[in-house]
């Protein structure tokens, strides 16, 4: 159990370390054993101590693996070396909020109705651990968990018992919206409201054991809704899952109480996220990443956003870069509704052709790359599908073949549509906003690839596979502290098709811009 070296930090104060301090100071190794003496006065503390996790659950919970240097995960040394080895000498790392950053959590509900456990599994086991004072959670997630615990006890709700497949309440997802425009901007994060999704061990809301689900939703609303002393709860949803596998959510969702629509503000736009859609856990860091991403997409580009979720990246680019067209491709059909809602609040000046497609990016991926100048990929931790890597590596040869073919690349007539599978495909299972014509008449292939990764190991493999044939070269890379307390970081890497441009030569004579991020 870690001892507090200094008084626990407020979750709303991040550890500010000057770029120079990070660059020049040799990092002290984590203490081998924890001191038993009272802490020294704080002014002399090094960043590793002021940026310590100080969480009482550190050793029992599997959520965090690092106790010190939250501002600078150890893996950064390797990341920096990797990028240097591939010609990117100015890799930068942005660190934002170090505590209370997690705005989205999925937690197991186990134990008994009198003694419920709501938390993560212990490393390598299926033993859930209570984490009421989690330092990564937004504080209102912790408060909502405590309210939920009270509800389980008072209503005698039976948590799930995995071995037997019995009990009612399996998991809970908590997501915080910090988008309350009636509050001053500085108060919004702190006053975030929690959308609670209760995963119930029943087929639907009419099953006999679903009565307690309704009762629990009403309890949360009565005690945490707008009429309670502390308004904490945004809404409550039910999800129904009876399968005995490890998949958290079933296919059936029900809105039970509170506001149906959940809005957040990132990347310059209001986005709607249903509980069934993917959402980034670290809202603030994601916003910083999107701001950076915008710089690499030229105004008026045609963009393909693969692994798009509810289309947040594509839509924020459409709004900021006035893209000619944006195509979002996502395999989870539940994200479609969130995309449509987001578009309803879209700024009226955006007149891009925007579409969202329910499709698997690994099936005929070339059809999605056709007609775009920039492709953005944001795959799950396991990385890109091999068929997509192959398609990305083949682009120049596709271009050459198209040019040399007697039927010139741009001269298809309407009756030859069947030879343009991407057009036929783009019409399937899609939502289209704005003009279709732009999408259909553009036959360019991407020259810029922007890879957003939360899985460092898979990223390295994909990166090498893309560059081995010299089809793509790395131009820029940035890291973001999306998961403080772990060895995971989010990477944004920009690749260009063809040979690497000598940026130094291009820039010579120009004044150097002041850097605002931590150079490593
Ligand atoms: C890391 S999330 C990124 C989502 C989105 N870019 C965002 O930031 O909100 C990865 C997304 O890829 C989707 N996905 C996974 N495999 C896919 C595939 N083969 N084709 C299309 N989408 C896929 C997942 O459902 C998930 O929404």
Q: Is 378 in the pocket of ligand 1 (CB under 6 A)?
A: yes
ipTM of the complex: 0.99
**Which residue is catalytic, options 103, 328, 454, 463?**
454
- The pLDDT score that the predictor gives to residue 44 is 53
- pLDDT given for residue 326 in this prediction: 95
Q: For ligand 1, is residue 386 a contact (CB within 6 Å)?
A: no
Query: For residue 2, what are its two tokens?
Result: 């870690």
Angle of CA points 295, 296, 300, to nearest 5°: 90
Query: 488 Cβ partners below 8 Å, 6+ apart?
Result: 73, 75, 454, 455, 456, 482
From edge to edge, which strands make up the β-sheet containing 92-94?
430-433, 353-358, 325-330, 302-306, 374-377, 448-453, 490-497, 472-480, 92-94, 518-519
What is the model's pTM? 0.85
Give the Å distance between the CA of 335 and the centre of ligand 1.
Answer: 10
Distance 380 CA to ligand 1 centre (A): 6
Query: How many A from CA of 181 to the centre of ligand 1?
Result: 29
Is 15 labeled as catalytic in the residue annotation?
no
Query: Is residue 280 marked as binding?
Result: yes
Using most ligand atoms within 8 A of CB, pick from 367, 379, 482 the residue to mutate for ligand 1.
379
State the pLDDT at residue 48.
63
Q: Check if 278 has its Cβ closer than 6 Å to any atom of ligand 1.
A: yes
Angle formed at CA 142 by CA 233 and CA 378, multiple of 5 degrees: 85
> Does residue 154 have a known ligand-binding role?
no
| pLDDT score, position 135 | 97
Closest alpha carbon to 37 in 3, 84, 1: 3
Residue 492 Cα to ligand 1 middle (Å): 16
**Does residue 332's CB lie within 6 angstroms of at least one atom of ligand 1?**
yes
Q: Could you give the 3-state DSSP secondary structure of residue 395?
A: helix
Residue among 264, 283, 363, 380 whose CB has most ligand 1 atoms within 8 A, to mutate: 380
Look up residue 3 and give its DSSP letter.
P
Question: Which pLDDT belongs to residue 35?
Answer: 31
Cα Rg, the chain, nearest whole Å = 25
Ligand 1 within 6 A of CB of 146: no
Among 303, 331, 480, 491, say which to mutate for ligand 1: greatest number of ligand atoms within 8 Å of CB.
331
330 is in an annotated binding site: yes
Q: Give me the sign of the Cα torsion angle 142, 138, 276, 449.
A: negative
Q: Does ligand 1 lie within 6 Å of residue 362's CB atom?
A: yes
Could you give the 3-state DSSP secondary structure of residue 375? strand
Give the dihedral of Cα atoms 232, 238, 239, 244; nearest 10 deg: 100
Residue 380 confidence (pLDDT): 98
User: Which domains are delineated in the chain?
Assistant: 66-101+282-395+442-500 (3.40.50.150), 104-261 (2.40.50.1070)
Please state the atom number of ligand 1 nearest to the C-alpha of residue 376. 6
Per the CB < 8 A criterion, the answer to whether 84 and 164 are in contact is: no
Ligand 1 pocket check: which of 330, 359, 483 to mutate, most ligand atoms within 8 Å of Cβ?
A: 330
412 labelled ligand-binding: no
Whether residue 130 has its Cβ less than 6 Å from ligand 1? no
Determine if ligand 1 sits within 6 Å of the CB of residue 330.
yes
Q: Which ligand 1 atom is at minimum distance from the Cα of 363?
A: 19
CB of residue 313 inside a 6 A radius of ligand 1: yes
* Ligand 1 atom having least distance to the Cα of 360: 20
Ligand 1: which residue has its CA nearest to atom 4? 309
- C-beta of 309 in contact with ligand 1 (< 6 A): yes
pLDDT in tens, the chain (520 residues): 332 222 333 322 334 333 333 333 333 333 333 233 334 334 455 666 679 999 999 989 999 999 999 999 999 999 999 999 999 999 999 998 999 999 999 999 999 999 999 999 998 898 999 999 999 999 999 999 999 999 999 999 999 999 999 999 999 999 999 999 899 999 999 999 999 999 999 999 999 889 999 999 999 999 999 999 999 999 999 999 999 888 999 999 999 999 999 999 999 999 999 999 999 999 999 999 999 999 999 999 999 999 999 999 999 999 997 799 999 999 999 999 999 999 999 988 888 899 999 999 999 999 999 999 999 999 999 999 999 999 999 999 998 888 777 454 444 444 444 455 555 565 556 787 766 555 556 778 999 999 999 999 999 999 999 999 899 999 999 999 999 999 999 999 999 998 665 555 454 444 444 333 333 3
- The pLDDT of residue 347 is 86
């Amino acid at each position: 159990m870690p001892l507090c070296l200094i008084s626990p930090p407020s979750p709303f104060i991040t550890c500010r370390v000057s770029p120079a301090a990070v660059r020049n100071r040799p990092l002290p190794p984590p203490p081998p054993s924890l001191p038993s003496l009272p802490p020294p006065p704080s002014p002399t503390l090094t960043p590793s101590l002021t940026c310590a996790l100080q969480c009482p659950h550190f050793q029992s919970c599997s959520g965090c693996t690092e106790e010190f240097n939250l501002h600078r995960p150890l893996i950064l040394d390797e990341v920096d070396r990797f990028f240097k080895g591939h010609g990117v000498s100015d890799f930068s790392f942005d660190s934002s909020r170090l505590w209370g950053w997690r705005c989205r959590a999925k937690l197991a509900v186990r134990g008994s109705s009198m003694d419920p456990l709501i938390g993560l599994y212990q490393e390598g086991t299926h033993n859930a651990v209570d984490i009421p004072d989690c330092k990564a959670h937004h504080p209102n997630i912790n408060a909502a968990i405590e309210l939920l615990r009270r509800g389980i006890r008072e209503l005698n709700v039976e948590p799930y018992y995995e071995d037997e497949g019995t009990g009612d309440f399996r998991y809970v997802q908590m997501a915080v919206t910090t988008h309350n425009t009636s509050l001053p901007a500085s108060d919004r994060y702190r006053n975030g409201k929690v959308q609670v999704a209760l995963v119930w061990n029943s087929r639907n809301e009419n099953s006999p054991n679903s009565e307690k689900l309704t009762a629990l939703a009403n309890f949360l609303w009565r005690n945490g809704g707008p009429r309670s002393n502390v308004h904490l709860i945004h809404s409550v949803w039910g999800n129904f899952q009876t399968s005995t596998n490890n998949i958290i959510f079933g296919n059936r969702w029900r809105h039970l109480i509170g506001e149906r629509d959940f809005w957040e503000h990132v990347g310059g736009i209001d986005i709607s996220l249903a509980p069934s859609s993917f959402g980034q856990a670290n809202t603030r860091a994601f916003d910083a990443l999107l701001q950076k991403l915008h710089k690499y997409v030229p105004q008026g580009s045609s963009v393909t956003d693969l692994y798009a979720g509810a289309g947040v990246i594509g839509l924020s680019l459409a709004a900021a870069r006035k893209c000619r067209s944006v195509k979002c491709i996502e395999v989870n059909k539940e994200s479609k509704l969130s995309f449509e809602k987001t578009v309803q609040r879209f700024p009226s000046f955006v007149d891009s052709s925007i579409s969202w497609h329910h499709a698997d990016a690994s099936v005929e991926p070339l059809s999605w790359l056709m007609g775009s100048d920039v492709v953005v990929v944001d795959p799950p931790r396991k990385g890109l599908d091999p068929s997509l890597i192959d398609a990305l590596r083949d682009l120049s040869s596709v271009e050459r073949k198209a040019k040399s073919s007697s039927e010139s690349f741009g001269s298809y007539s309407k009756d030859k549509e069947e030879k343009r599978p991407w057009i036929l495909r783009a019409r399937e299972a899609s939502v289209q906003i704005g003009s279709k014509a732009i999408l259909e008449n553009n036959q360019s292939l991407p020259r810029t690839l922007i890879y957003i990764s939360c899985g460092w190991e898979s990223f390295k493999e994909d990166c090498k596979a893309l560059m081995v044939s010299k089809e793509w070269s790395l131009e820029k890379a940035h890291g973001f502290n999306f998961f403080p307390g772990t060895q995971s970081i989010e990477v944004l890497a920009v690749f260009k098709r063809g040979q690497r441009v000598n940026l130094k030569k291009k820039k010579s004579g120009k004044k150097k811009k002041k850097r605002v991020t931590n150079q490593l």
